[in-house]
Amino acid sequence: MIYFTSDWHIGHENIIKYCNRPFHSVGEMNGQLLSNAIGMLSKGDTLYVLGDFSFDVAEFSAYRMALESVCETIFVAGNHDPKKFRSSLPLALELKHNHRATYLCHYPWSSWRPNTVMLHGHCHGNPVPPHPDARLRMRFDVGVDTEWDGRKYFPISIEQIENRIEKEKLYDGGDVRGRE
C-alpha cells in the first residue's frame, strides 16, 4: 500500500497552538503521530513524507528511523526540515500508480501537468482555492492537519486519494490518467 503524509513538525511545541491540534504537549503530539502511522503501516508499504517532518536534526533522524523500521519511507524537502537533510532531499517527485501520474511536493503548486494529481502539504488544512482549469483540480493537502474520511493525524492512502477524485468528479470527463 502507498501512503502520504506531511507537516508533522516533530518537536515544534507552538504548532499545537498555531494549528489548534488537540494535544497537551509536544511529547504527546510526537508520540500520537508516530503511533498513528506505525499502527497502519507494515512491511511492503511505502510512506511518502512531503516535508516539514521536524526542524531538529536529532528528532528528524530518530523519527525517520522509527518509520523506516516499519516500511519504505521516502522524504521530500519542506521548508521546516533541517538544512542538513533538505539539501539531499528532492523538492518534488513523480509517482505512477494505476497508470495515473501524481506529483508530490511540499508546496501546493499553482500549475502542473493537466490531468495529473498534485499531493502537497504546507497548508495545514487551510483550503487552497480550486484551480480555474478543471484539468488542474486534482490537488490535495495530505498534511496531518487535513481531515480525510472523518479523521486527522494519520497518513492518507493512495486509495483515499483515488476515491476522492472519483467521488468529487474532479475532472471534466476527459482522460484523468497520466502519460506512460
Identify the H or E element spanning 153. Answer: none
C-alpha cell at 123: 497548508
**pLDDT, tens only, 73-123:** 999 999 999 988 888 999 999 999 988 899 999 999 888 888 899 999 999
pLDDT at 170: 64
| Positions in the chain short of pLDDT 70 | 170-180
Radius of gyration of the CA atoms of the chain, in A = 16
Could you tell me how many residues make up the chain? 180
Domain spans of the chain, in order of start: 2-168
pLDDT at 56: 94
pLDDT at 172: 47
- Dihedral sign computed on CA atoms, order 76, 80, 83, 84: negative
What type of residue sits at position 93?
L
**How far apart, in whole angstroms, are the C-alpha atoms of residue 133 and residue 56?**
39
Model's pTM, two decimal places? Answer: 0.92
pLDDT at 178: 42
pLDDT at 100: 87
**How far apart, in whole angstroms, are the C-alpha atoms of residue 30 and residue 13?**
10
Q: Please identify, in words, the CATH class of the domain defined by 2-168.
A: alpha beta
